[in-house]
Amino acid sequence: MSDCKHERRFEHLAAFIHNSFNCKLTRTRDAIQIDIQSDDGVVVLLTPQHIEVRLPTVDWTKGSHGPVPSSILWKRRKLNGFWGEGSAGVNPELKALILEGIERRQSQFKKCRFCKQLVSIEHRIGTVCHGCASKHLGIVY
């Protein structure tokens, strides 16, 4: 496949995802990052060769920098596998893959046993959010 045709498909998939979900699209030189539904959604990373569905998380850095937004790989597929009979030539499995990733991410949220707020796994210790762990359990970060 020519580079130009490959690039058009890459951009076409990004447009399909952008039009199918409430999301933020960021284009870099080598990839397109699509943030779907913020922290309780997924990050889709498109390169001309692959699609990655990533789960949002944070990296806990040492020192005064605190948490830094990040993501972890959940599933990776070859991009050319998503061309098919669906909307404008896009395989319907693409949307299903993203929805499955969102469901997986949302399963990582649990209610804090003290404040009853839904809290992601990276902001909890077991069943207690970090704020309540400090307040009720005396944990110091």
More confident residue, 30 or 89: 30
Domain that holds residue 29: 3-108
Give residue 4's pLDDT band: very low, low, confident or very high (50, 70, 90): low
Whether residues 86 and 131 share a domain: the answer is no
SS3 readout for 59-75: EECCHHHCEEEEEEEEE
Q: How far apart are CA 129 and CA 104, in angstroms?
A: 20
CB 138 within 8 A of CB 131: no
pLDDT (tens digit per residue) in 43-69: 999 998 899 999 999 987 776 667 888
Place of tokens 């307040």: 135
One domain, residues 84 and 17 = yes
> Is the predicted pLDDT of residue 125 greater than 90, yes or no?
yes
Same domain for 80 and 42 = yes
Mean pLDDT of 107-112: 97
Does residue 52 sit in helix, strand or coil? strand
